[in-house]
Amino acid sequence: MGTVGTGVARVLTEHPDRLARRAGRPLELRRAVVRDLTKPRGIDLPAGVVTNDVAAVVNDPDIDLAVHLVGGVHPAREIMLDLLNAGKDVVTANKALLCACGEELFTRARELGRTIAFEAAVAGGIPIIATVAQSLAANQVTSISAILNGTSNYILTQMARENWDYAQALHQAQQLGFAEADPTLDVDGSDAAQKLILLTWLAFGVRARLEDVHRQGIDRLDLSDLRFAEELGYTVKLLAVARLVNQQIELHVQPTLVRRETPLAQIHGPFNAVGLVGDIVGETWYSGPGAGQMPTASAVVADLIDTVAGRTRINFERLEVWRSPPPFSLQPREKIETRFYLRFQVLDRPRVLADIADILGRNQISIASVIQHEPPESSPESPSGTSAATTVPLVIMTHRSTEGQLRAAEAELARLTAITPPHIRMPVAR
Amino acid sequence: MGTVGTGVARVLTEHPDRLARRAGRPLELRRAVVRDLTKPRGIDLPAGVVTNDVAAVVNDPDIDLAVHLVGGVHPAREIMLDLLNAGKDVVTANKALLCACGEELFTRARELGRTIAFEAAVAGGIPIIATVAQSLAANQVTSISAILNGTSNYILTQMARENWDYAQALHQAQQLGFAEADPTLDVDGSDAAQKLILLTWLAFGVRARLEDVHRQGIDRLDLSDLRFAEELGYTVKLLAVARLVNQQIELHVQPTLVRRETPLAQIHGPFNAVGLVGDIVGETWYSGPGAGQMPTASAVVADLIDTVAGRTRINFERLEVWRSPPPFSLQPREKIETRFYLRFQVLDRPRVLADIADILGRNQISIASVIQHEPPESSPESPSGTSAATTVPLVIMTHRSTEGQLRAAEAELARLTAITPPHIRMPVAR
């Protein structure tokens, strides 16, 4: 009973009639497990409900259904196995655990005739698991483009709105509780990649792992990149993409240039959004709060109701998570084809653009547009281009090329002494 | 087997393996009923499948499940009753029928132990029935704000984009198949109101009827209203609203000023969108194609799969469509409280604004802003305000007031000879 667990307990205790009507029978909160019995949680539960002993749940034969809100992989995995082995259905919000051990846990649950529901594991307030697994059942999903990490989206929104640099926006996100003390997994793309993996299993039936996701975080972005993107008509979003291209699945999480007038560009602050394309329905969009106590509790309680009402059993039996033989293979990341935004910090001297253009050209990357502003210090008294120490940003938008071509070009570009590493690169959303 | 029926037949015949996996057993298309056997439909069905006799479905004991895509109320009602009485579960897309006879049909289906699924009846490509009835089950929905009529949204989008008047945009919509030859039900708000009624039943459990919806269409709007709205920072959308206010349900479908930077303002062309607020989850958004052959077929086939898999039975038993006693009452329309956009066509002479402001003020309506541009023909040679025949638009944005206050003011304003009727009025979305 951490943050989300307290939210679930609150819904269970404040709306018993509503839930009983919708589930078909009353849901009784029997035990709430906490680590520290003395910590105040702002909720009054009947005597005997709160315990610090997981075994009090595992070993209670009257408990049919367990809400598993333990973070991380260990001992979360062992606790979930204990719950399943004890004959309990499980509702979880732990994407990291499912991503790492989903196959083992799902298999074990099926052997035991139990179910695992996990709507809350991806984009808390958006019913995206039900949509993919059930509402779009007539379709082969062909594309997922999603903002799945609220922390990153909040930071990017604040940088763009307030003209803050990354560190300043991160600090504010931490102050407001939108970012953890250690924000690594949020800002480096791992959290979004874990959620994307779960959606990829469901939508494409392939056995993808976290290491199959081409991944880049927002932590190296500069405010200037957001400004250049704006100048070009784009907004920068940490975009998670799984797309069916020539019977292969393209998978990546990267800061991405999104056209300003598209729905994803309008998702601000800690919100999540998912764009799903199905071969029958066409393009559909879903958005809502991505995390937080009550939005996640809403998804957990929906799963509780579905499990009690019997829908979860039907869904869980039919989940097409790892079809055999796999219907699609994963696309090698070198083959990912996209337009690229590139920003180099270059010495303000002749021939630099020509050298870069030459290397890109030899690697079959053609240039769509270039932005190079005069350095801010340039003035009639100090003509630009004369001081060897001055570096200026050089932004290049390419036409469609592949990740492999860009990597080959990057290896050559690394030898140009006029470029101060590292450079920044982002794909452009279709 | 009209347009949508042909789409459903196509999905059934082109993707039998996909559907069998997801439903748990094969779906066999046994009969397709058409009015005219000679009309080409661009789909090859096995001999004996196509018939022009509904009785061939009703009386075939091997048919378990009927897709009911008959439009209108009669004989659609009688056909559905025949299907239910013959022991068949039914999937329908007919919102008008459910709106008019839903209570009778649902009751009959329950008596017979049969189910009616109707995801396709509201916002075809958006799984909004499943979302309200299932995914948000932890919540009391507190607000629905939706674009539910694709024809109207297409017309409004084209007027704003192309500077077309209403007639011109309607004509193009008809040419492109986005509007029917008789577009009345689409553009006068009836179609959106029927869909809103179904959502209102599900979300609030109250017995609302079509005549309870305060309704206004887009057919009286002028291009100038869209331009004034733009000047004020808004976009005009035909908005369907059902909202819980002080334990009463506010219900209306009206052209509405929507703030330009909000998600609903970004919905263009024939798309639909639904904003749902739940008391636990907060604000969520859904959008997708609102109608059309394949998006609607996607929803119909999802219902087919749900019915075969057993989910529809669980859902249908738990639909909270007309709770008893009703948990909320309907708000009298005089009590609807909102800001208003008002456009009067007035004689360009002194005291007109003062007279209007006086009447509004005496009815407790306070003015937030006014737009009155100089008449286009005004120039130094012909000073404005002197010709009694010149009329000019006068736009007033009010602060929050009630429908009742505005109606009282409108009765007085009708007596001002300086105003050329009719005036235009639209609420402003919160």
Alpha carbon distance A384, B335 (integer Å): 67
Are residues A259 and A250 in contact, defined by beta-carbon separation less than 8 angstroms? no
Catalytic residue flag (residue B195): yes
Asked if residue A295 is part of any domain, the answer here is no
Same domain, B196 and B250: yes
Residue A310: which of B295, B302, B314 has the nearest Cβ?
A: B314
CATH code for position B254: 3.30.360.10
User: How many structural domains are present in chain B?
Assistant: 3
Average pLDDT, chain A: 94
Asked if residue A318 is part of any domain, the answer here is no
Asked if residue A222 is part of any domain, the answer here is yes
Q: For chain B, 430 residues long, give each residue's pLDDT as a single digit of tens.
A: 999 999 999 999 999 999 999 999 999 999 999 999 999 999 999 989 999 999 999 999 999 999 999 999 999 999 999 999 999 999 999 999 999 999 999 999 999 999 999 999 999 999 999 999 999 999 999 999 999 999 999 999 999 999 999 999 999 999 998 898 999 999 999 999 999 999 999 999 999 999 999 999 999 999 999 999 999 999 999 999 999 999 999 999 999 999 998 889 989 999 999 999 999 999 999 999 988 999 999 999 999 999 999 999 999 999 999 999 999 999 999 999 999 999 999 998 889 999 999 999 999 999 999 999 887 665 554 454 455 568 999 999 999 999 999 999 999 999 999 999 999 999 999 8
CA A62 to chain centre: 37
The nearest CA of chain A is from the CA of B128 a distance in Å of 9
Same domain, B132 and B281: yes
Whole-number percent of chain A with pLDDT over 90: 91
Please answer yes or no on whether A282 and B289 come within 8 Å at the CB atom: yes
Q: A282-289 and A271-278 as β-strands: parallel, antiparallel, unpaired?
A: antiparallel
Please answer yes or no on whether A22 and B289 come within 8 Å at the CB atom: no
* DSSP one-letter string for B303-323: HHHHHHHTHHHHHHHH--SS-
Residue B294: which of A126, A280, A284 has the nearest Cβ?
A: A280
Asked if residue A302 is part of any domain, the answer here is no
Q: Once rounded to an integer, what is the mean pLDDT over residues A301-327?
A: 96
CATH code for position A363: 3.30.70.260
CA distances (Å), origin A16, targets A44, A145, B219, B318: 15, 37, 47, 16
Cα dihedral B163, B166, B169, B172 sign: negative
Residues contacting residue A361 through CB under 8 Å, at least 6 positions apart: none
Q: B50-51 and B391-398 as β-strands: parallel, antiparallel, unpaired?
A: unpaired
* ipTM value for the complex: 0.94
Residue closest to A88 by CA, chosen among A56, A57, A116, A66: A66
Same domain, A108 and A146: no
pTM of the model: 0.95
Residue A125: which of B282, B289, B306 has the nearest Cβ?
A: B282
CATH code for position B79: 3.40.50.720
Domain extent for B41: 3-121
Alpha carbon distance B305, B92 (integer Å): 13
Alpha carbon distance A136, B125 (integer Å): 9
Q: B50-51 and B234-245 as β-strands: parallel, antiparallel, unpaired?
A: unpaired
CA distances (Å), origin B23, targets A113, A303, A312, B311: 19, 20, 14, 10
Residues in chain A within 8 Å Cβ distance of B306:
134, 137
Please answer yes or no on whether A134 and B306 come within 8 Å at the CB atom: yes
Residue B288: which of A23, A137, A285 has the nearest Cβ?
A: A285
Q: Indicate the SS3 state at residue B166.
A: helix
The pLDDT of residue A385: 46
Asked if residue A296 is part of any domain, the answer here is no
Residue closest to A144 by CA, chosen among A185, A207, A197: A197
The pLDDT of residue B390: 85
Same domain, A260 and A229: yes
Number of neighbours of residue B117 by Cβ within 10 angstroms: 28
Whole-number percent of chain A with pLDDT over 70: 97
Same domain, A395 and A410: yes
Residue closest to B210 by CA, chosen among B317, B109, B75, B73: B73
Helix runs in B310-428, H state only: 311-318, 352-362, 403-413
Same domain, B72 and B147: no
Same domain, A347 and A266: no
Same domain, B11 and B143: no
Asked if residue A312 is part of any domain, the answer here is no
Number of neighbours of residue A59 by Cβ within 10 angstroms: 11
Same domain, B35 and B72: yes
Alpha carbon distance B408, B406 (integer Å): 5
Are residues B239 and B361 in contact, defined by beta-carbon separation less than 8 angstroms? no
The pLDDT of residue B388: 52
Q: Once rounded to an integer, what is the mean pLDDT over residues A81-95?
A: 98
Which residue of chain A is at minimal alpha-carbon distance from B296?
A: A281
Residues in chain A within 8 Å Cβ distance of B23:
137
**Location of structure tokens 């205790």:** A13
Same domain, B91 and B223: no
The pLDDT of residue A248: 98
Residue closest to B237 by CA, chosen among B150, B321, B301: B150
Same domain, A345 and A256: no
Residue B295: which of A134, A137, A282 has the nearest Cβ?
A: A282
Are residues A300 and A93 in contact, defined by beta-carbon separation less than 8 angstroms? yes
- Per-residue tokens: A304: 């509780």
Compute the count of residue pairs across chains A and B with CB atoms less than 8 Å apart.
169
- Our separate counts of H helices and E strands in chain B read 15, 17
Residues in chain B within 8 Å Cβ distance of A286:
284-286
Cis peptide before B289 (omega within 30 of 0): no
Of the residues B96, B121, B146, which one is the last residue of a structural domain?
B121
| Per-residue pLDDT tens digits for A338-391 | 999 999 999 988 899 999 999 999 999 999 999 998 876 655 544 544 555 689
b vs e for B65-104, b when ≥16 Cβ sit within 10 Å of the residue's Cβ? bbbbbbeeeeebbebbbbbbebebbbbbbbbbbbbbbbee
Of the residues A91, A121, A151, which one is the last residue of a structural domain?
A121
Q: Which of B88, B95, B195, B237 is catalytic?
A: B195
Please answer yes or no on whether B298 and A278 come within 8 Å at the CB atom: yes
The pLDDT of residue B385: 46
Please answer yes or no on whether B301 and A138 come within 8 Å at the CB atom: yes
Of the residues B270, B303, B330, which one is the last residue of a structural domain?
B330
The amino acid at A7: G
Residues in chain B within 8 Å Cβ distance of A278:
298
Asked if residue A311 is part of any domain, the answer here is no
Asked if residue A362 is part of any domain, the answer here is yes
Residue closest to A13 by CA, chosen among A27, A31, A33: A27
The nearest CA of chain A is from the CA of B44 a distance in Å of 19
The nearest CA of chain B is from the CA of A348 a distance in Å of 39
Predicted confidence (pLDDT) at residue A294 exceeds the cutoff of 70: yes
Same domain, B50 and B82: yes
Alpha carbon distance A354, B115 (integer Å): 70
- Per-residue tokens: A77: 């995995």
